[in-house]
Structure 1
Amino acid sequence: MQTADVLVIGGGITGSSTALGLMRKGAGKVVILDEQLKSQRLSRGNFGLTWFMCKGAGYPGYSLWCRKAAVAWPEYAEILEDASGYNIELDWTGGAVHAFGQEELDGFARSVETIREGCSSKGIDYPVEVLDRQQFAELMPKMTLGEDVAGGMYTKEQGHVNPLRLLGAVRSCFQKLGGVYHGADGAREIIPQSNGTVLVKTTTETYECRKLVIAAGHGSSRLTAALGEKLNIYPQRGQLMVSARCERKLDIPLLAVRQTQDGTYLLGLSTENTALDSGVTAEAMKSQAANAVRIFPELANLNWVRGWGAIRVMTPDGGPIYSKIPGHENISVLALHSGVSLAPLHTEVIAPWILGETTDNQVSEFSNGRFHA
């Protein structure tokens, strides 16, 4: 039998960034188990935005949470790069969302004001501007806007990263601090013990731990159900497309289009209800391409070389789930979309919360129990 002070089931960005925080807090022996199922590899298939804009309209608590993460991102990236030696390719150049037509632009203005008021009531800023077409075009002087673009939203306090390099950097930092990572070893059964420990049976081993963290994406539902807790998440597929490398012209990422440091363009604004099917479809790729060309007509001339799908972990209100399993306070579950954007908070806030040391009272508002009312 293997032992651990804290066992983390799930080695994606959420599980790994939380495990890193546990090591920094001196939690003892921390072990990550990562099964790496194809349908659960969202950390390798996402768009890479470090984003707070647009998140939490009608849900001020989530807006505030995302804003806190954005504020923390530049320093978080610097610490990761210094400690790991990885360049995670953070471009902190801002971020934008296009509007097709004046009606959509006016809707943006109303949404920004609503979220700004909610953040202000919590004592935090919401630095988002609504720009007309000329102002929007000036953000991207090397690109030509399509005639349907009326303007958009913009903030200078967000950006984008290479999610693969981010995942590598977080895991490297975790292991350099003494953390243990086991790939291709998935949890099969969780057995709470009368002495307060938890047994976890995997495909190859049995582990005993003092605290357990379940951060296994859609694999978490099966594990929590066996403990009597229905996890309120559902799958949503997103598809992405990537071009061949070309001249770097787009310095600011848009929600639908971004250009990486190596010159490739990425398209990534699709939502489909397909259960756990992470495949690609010509229909979704055509829709994404048409949308991107409406924003920047020159994208129609590029060589698009690959597409892939990934399964988002979504909750009914869009916010994350950070929750203790009722009757088992030493078992925590983390389930969410936006693992890249929220990574700093998972390291700096959620890890202490797991250990019972957090001072951020907002975590409690993201309990899975909010959906049971």
Structure 2
Amino acid sequence: MIYLIPDTNQWIYLANSKDPSTENFQEGNHFLLLDKLSNIIQQGDIVILINDIIEAEWKRNRNTAEELIKTLKKAKESKLNEFKKMKTEYPKSSAEIDIILKSIEDKFDDDIEKNELHIARVEALLNSSEKYPISRDVKADVTDWAIGKKAPFIGNKKNSSADAAILFGALEYINSKATVTWSEAKEYPKAYFISANTTDFASPTNKNEIHPDLKPLLDKVGMKYSRSLPYALREVDQHLLDEAEMLRLEREMYEWEMKMEEEANRNTAACLICTPDEENEGLNNIHFGPGFEITYDVSNIDPNQLELPFTDLDSMVAHSVQIQAGFCEWCSAYHIKCSCGEIICTEELSHEETIDCENCGMLFQKVVIYEGNNQYNSSIVLPRKNV
């Protein structure tokens, strides 16, 4: 039995239904990789290990994958309407336009079906994976490692905490799977930690080897490092992927990894409340999700109260605004990112309390709703004061 421990980006790549090299919704190399991985799992040769961090990343990125499907559906509707309009303008070409319409509809339906199936398959793979915990000891080790500025916390690293916890948790789990031989020596199952983030995890002199800071930890349980999932699969079974396939998949994953790193840097910030270490070595990061729209809290509008008829001013005020939101990885404090880019912490606001953006002046309000059974749900809205 061989254990594979992919980091978060390896999983996000598998879940991404958009080909990063072409920006098209076509069957890309990540579809091929999922096929290969699923086949070898069904054969019983390997087990994928996951944890709460990976599951959270999947849930966060599943919405993004579904948004791509929604985009496809909107594009389909727009394109079909365009050609239907042409039918009224050129009635003599109606038959030819119908053929084009059918072709467009079939193409979009095929792309939509592929992506829906792909998402379902990735989720099924996650659900069938073996789960290990991230213990308190692991969290403490990650903290000490970050403060000590050891790999992967070398330099200004914003996104190393999650992957470090995945690795340290896996090391603890593999250690628990050790068996004792007749000579009373410990024997560990074969395992691979997989991360394309060679800057953080690989040796500076050899990208195929683990960083010297981490090597003693992996050597202790016999764990190996692999720079990519294709490379690890070929290590497990050389017949599973030929060298050309492996190199092609690795190249695409590297390009995608760079795009993900750029995106993460744009959407990561330090918590405004807690400081777990003096130099903010990435332990209290907030990873902001996709943007969403917030509007005025209409629940606070009294329907019996007459509003001033200044409808001509409506175009001068914002009735909705796009923001992003995220939680601190250390203290779980809720933060939002204003449409102007300013980071605002709303964690300590009470019900209906407001806070303004220091950069653009936009006013935000926290609304807390009691849902029963001592359960409360809070949301951020635009207060009427913005009008």
Return the TM-score normalized by structure 1: 0.26
More relative contact order in 1 or in 2 (CA 8 Å, sep 6+)? 1
Which has the larger Rg? Answer: 2
Return the TM-score normalized by structure 2: 0.25
**Structure in which a larger fraction of residues adopt helix:** 2
**Structure in which a larger fraction of residues adopt strand:** 1
